[in-house]
Amino acid sequence: MIPLQNIMKIAPDQIDSDAAKVVQRLRRYDHTAYLVGGCVRDLLLGGKPKDFDVVTSATPQEIKRIFKNCRIIGRRFRLAHVFFGSKIVETSTFRANPREVEEDDGDAGAEPESADLMIRRDNVFGTPEEDARRRDFTINGLFYDIENDKVIDHVAGMADLEARLVRTIGDPDIRLREDPVRILRAIKFAARCDLSIESETHRRMMEHRQEITKCAPARVSEEFYRLLRAGAARRSMELLVGTELLDILVPELARALRGDDADSETNLRRTRLWAYLAALDRQVTRRPTAPSNALILAVLTLPPLRDILDPDSTAVRDVGPIVAQAIQPVMERVKASRRDAELTRQMLLALRYVLPSRRPNRRRPRLAGRDFLDDALRLAELVSDAETVDAMVAGRPIIDLGVAADASREAAGTIEASVERDAPPSAQSDDDLPPELESTLDRDRDRRRRNRGRGDNRRPDEPRHARPDDEAGQPPNARPPQYPTPPIAAASLAGGPAPVSISLTTLQAALPAPLMSDRPPFLGRGMFGGPWASAFD
C-alpha cells in the first residue's frame, strides 16, 4: 500500500457526493468499499472524472438489499447500478481472475493450456488484492479509501502514473489474449490521458491485434465509439493507424488515412478527415454532452462527400442514393445499428440545408422537431470550425453552369427568385421535407403495417395459390364455381359502350346466391346480419 503523496493529491470536494454516499453506506453495513479505476486515475492526474465507480466486498444481491434504488446487470460480469436520478454509480464486487482460479483447482499433471485464453465469464469473487491484480492496466488498479484519505496500490500503478505509462498488470502476452478488447482500451487511455504505451505492452499489442476479431462485435464497436467521443479522437485515430488496428476494424478508413498519394483529391480527403477529427475534439471540450454514435460516423464518412453536399453544388442530382452507397461500407464494418446508420445518412444530407450558402433562393425546408436536426447542427458547426482553422479543407461546390447563370441573373434582379430547378414550385414548397431526408425506417415500418392489414388467412405452410375448396376434398385443378356474369360486365367484355352508372338491382343480381337471403329488412343485408340474425336463421 502506498499512502497518498503530495504530488498527486485528491481533494475531498472533487469526489462525487453520491459516490461517497454509496461507499459510506456500504461501510455502515460492515462491508469494505473503495473508489476504484478510472475516477481515481483521473483525479490523480488532475482531471475531472466522467463517472465514479465503487468496488466492495458485498455481493450483487447484498448490494441490492442495501440500496432500494439499485439494479443488477450483466451476465459475463454481474454488477450493480445504484441510481441517483439520471446518474449511475457502478458498484462491483471484489473478484479474482477466473483463469487463475481454474489453474489452482486443476491437477499438477493437467494438459497444457489452450491457445484460447479468452475470459467469457468473470463472476469469481475474491479479495481486494486479487481484484486489483485481475484488472487490465496498472493505472486502473488503484483504490481510494475515502475514510482514511489514501490510495491503495497493489500493482505499482502510482509509479506508472508518475512515469505516464500504460502497462498491463502481469504478462501482456496473456492479459491481451484473455480479452483482446484491452488493446483498444490501451489506445484509449494513451490518447485520452496523454500517456505512452510501455514497450513490451506495445509489442504484444502488435502481435495479438488479430485476436480482436474473436470478440463480440458489439463490444468492439462500443469501444471504437468511446475512442472517438472522449475528446481525443485525432490522437486515437493516429494510434489506430500506427498499430494497424484500423486495417482490421475499418480498412476503408485505414487506406484513406495512410500514405502520401500523388492524387490531390485523395490528399484533400485525408486532410479533411484529420481536420474534422481535431474539430470534433474541440467541440467535445465546449459541449456538455458527448457526441452520439451517428455524429461520429458522419464525421468519418463526410470527407469524400463534402463537395457533393455543399449547399452551392448544383450539378449533382439524386444525392440521396450517392450518400447511402458511400457510407454503407463503414456502417457494415462497425456494425452500426439501423437507427445510427439512418441518422448518419439524414444528417449528412441535411448539411445541404444548414450550412451557409451563397444562393439567396435555395430551399429551406422545415426541419424543426426532426430526430437528426440537433446532430446535423453539431456537424455543421464542426465543419465550419474545421474550415475556419484550415481554409484548404473548405468545400468546393460542384456547379451546373446553367444553374449558375440563372442564379447570377436572379441576383442582378433580371428574373424573379424561384426554388431550385430540381424542385419545381408545383411539386414542393419550402415547408416540405425533401424526399431524401425522409426516414427509411418509418417507410419500412409503414409498409409492414400495411402488409399486416392485407394479410389473408392462409396457414404458414399453405401455398399462395391454394383455395379453401382444397380442404373439402376438391382437386386442386378443379375449376372454381361459376357465378352469373353481371349484364354490365358482359356488355363491357363484348365491346359495348361503357355505362355511366350501375343500378343496385344489377349488383344484387350479380351476387352469389348464398349472399341473397329472404330475411326481413330490419335484420340488414350484411353477411352477419344484426343481433336477430341467428334467431331468424
The torsion angles phi and psi of 101, rounded to 5 degrees, stand at -65, -40
Same domain (yes/no): 154, 174:
no
Burial of 142: CB neighbours in 10 Å, binned 0-12, 13-18, 19+: buried
Contact 9, 161 (CB under 8 A): no
- For the residues 388-413, what does the mean pLDDT come to? 69
The yes-or-no verdict on residue 389 having pLDDT over 60 is yes
Q: What is the pLDDT of residue 241?
A: 94
Q: Give Cα 211 distance to the centre of its chain.
A: 23
Same domain (yes/no): 358, 244:
no
Per DSSP, 169 falls in state S
Of 36-45, 176-185, 256-265, 348-357, the one with minimum mean pLDDT is: 256-265
Domain interval for residue 80: 1-103+117-163
The mean of the pLDDT values for the chain is 79
The yes-or-no verdict on residue 413 having pLDDT over 80 is no
Same domain (yes/no): 280, 411:
yes
pLDDT tens-digit readout, 175-223: 999 999 999 999 999 999 999 999 999 999 999 999 999 999 999 999 9
Same domain (yes/no): 157, 301:
no
The yes-or-no verdict on residue 503 having pLDDT over 50 is no
Same domain (yes/no): 39, 130:
yes
Q: What is the pLDDT of residue 453?
A: 58
Q: What is the pLDDT of residue 258?
A: 79
pLDDT tens-digit readout, 70-82: 999 987 678 999 9
- With respect to residue 458, please indicate whether it lies within any of the assigned structural domains: no
- With respect to residue 469, please indicate whether it lies within any of the assigned structural domains: no
Q: How many domains does the chain have?
A: 3
Q: Are strands 142-145 and 70-73 parallel, antiparallel or unpaired?
A: unpaired
Q: What is the pLDDT of residue 368?
A: 85
- With respect to residue 299, please indicate whether it lies within any of the assigned structural domains: yes
Boundary residue ending a domain (259, 276, 298)? 259
Per DSSP, 149 falls in state T
Q: What is the pLDDT of residue 489?
A: 41
Write out the catalytic residue numbers. 51, 53, 136
Q: How far is CA 421 from CA 365, 410, 426, in A?
A: 15, 13, 12
- With respect to residue 410, please indicate whether it lies within any of the assigned structural domains: yes
Q: Are strands 33-36 and 87-93 parallel, antiparallel or unpaired?
A: unpaired
- With respect to residue 336, please indicate whether it lies within any of the assigned structural domains: yes
Same domain (yes/no): 327, 413:
yes
- With respect to residue 478, please indicate whether it lies within any of the assigned structural domains: no
Q: What is the pLDDT of residue 116?
A: 56
- For residue 54, what are the β-bridge partners? 35, 91
- Long-range contact list for 273-276, CB < 8 A, 24+ apart? 273/300, 273/303, 274/234, 274/237, 275/386, 275/387, 275/389, 275/390, 275/393, 276/302, 276/303, 276/382, 276/383, 276/386
CATH number for 200: 1.10.3090.10
CATH number for 86: 3.30.460.10
pLDDT tens-digit readout, 226-237: 999 989 999 999
Same domain (yes/no): 201, 290:
no
Helix (H, G, I), strand (E, B) or coil at 87: strand
Q: How confident is the model at residue 518 (pLDDT cuts 50, 70, 90)?
A: low
- For the residues 524-536, what does the mean pLDDT come to? 49
Q: What is the pLDDT of residue 260?
A: 63
The total of other beta-carbon atoms located within 10 Å of residue 7's CB is 9
- With respect to residue 507, please indicate whether it lies within any of the assigned structural domains: no
Is the pLDDT higher at 347 or at 314?
347
Q: How confident is the model at residue 98 (pLDDT cuts 50, 70, 90)?
A: low
Boundary residue ending a domain (127, 142, 163)? 163
Taking alpha carbons only, the member of 179, 184, 191, 132 closest to residue 157 is: 132
For the chain, how many residues are written?
Answer: 537
- With respect to residue 318, please indicate whether it lies within any of the assigned structural domains: yes
The yes-or-no verdict on residue 431 having pLDDT over 90 is no
Same domain (yes/no): 289, 383:
yes
Boundary residue ending a domain (200, 232, 259)? 259
Same domain (yes/no): 359, 372:
yes
Taking alpha carbons only, the member of 480, 451, 482 closest to residue 465 is: 480
Distance CA 169, CA 185 (A): 13
Same domain (yes/no): 399, 381:
yes
Contact 292, 347 (CB under 8 A): no
pLDDT tens-digit readout, 37-72: 999 999 999 888 989 999 999 999 999 999 999 999
Same domain (yes/no): 340, 438:
yes
Same domain (yes/no): 213, 228:
yes
